[in-house]
């Protein structure tokens, strides 16, 4: 049995940084997310977008990092958004109350444009 892994990719756009997540986000893999976020948050980017299209799972450890990042960005006048949630991650967000509390978009493109469906 192989251990779960998380791959991250950072994509820079005009006023946003997209952090694409691929794999499982849990206590064994959360360090990879925190390392990527440390590098992103060291910059003055006004917006971080988590692209969750390839994120197959998140545990409470991942939710904790997401929430901490949203709070950090808010204190410095920035924003965070979540894009393209997989059905499993969408369900976790729904159970945790994140769908109402966070900016959630159906795709990376809509998150970059700031257009949520009505």
5-24 confidence digits (pLDDT tens) = 999 999 999 889 999 999 99
Residue 27 in any domain: the answer is: yes
**49 within domain boundaries:** yes
Please indicate, yes or no, if residue 118 is contained in any of the structural domains. Answer: no
| Domain total of the chain | 1
Both tokens of 109, joined, read 């493109």
pLDDT 10s digits, 14-55: 889 999 999 999 999 999 999 999 999 999 899 999 999 999
Does some domain include residue 1?
no
Measure the CA–CA gap between 66 and 62, rounded to whole angstroms.
6
The domain that contains 97 carries what CATH number?
3.30.750.24
Residues 6+ apart with CB under 8 A from 94: none
Tell me the pTM. 0.94
Q: How many CA atoms lie within 13 A of 8 on its CB side?
A: 19
Name the residue range of residue 80's domain: 6-11+21-103
Residue 19 contacts residue 40 (beta carbons within 8 Å): yes
């Amino acid at each position: 049995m192989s251990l779960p892994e998380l791959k991250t990719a950072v994509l820079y756009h005009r006023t946003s940084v997209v952090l694409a997540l691929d794999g499982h986000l849990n206590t064994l893999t959360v360090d990879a997310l925190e390392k990527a976020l440390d590098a992103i948050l060291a910059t003055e980017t006004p917006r971080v977008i988590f692209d969750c299209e390839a994120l197959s799972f998140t545990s409470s450890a991942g939710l904790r990092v997401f929430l901490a990042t949203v709070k950090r960005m808010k204190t410095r006048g920035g924003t965070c958004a979540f894009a393209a949630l997989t059905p499993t991650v969408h369900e976790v967000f729904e159970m945790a109350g994140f769908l109402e509390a966070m900016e959630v978009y159906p795709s990376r493109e809509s998150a970059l444009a700031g257009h949520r469906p009505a």
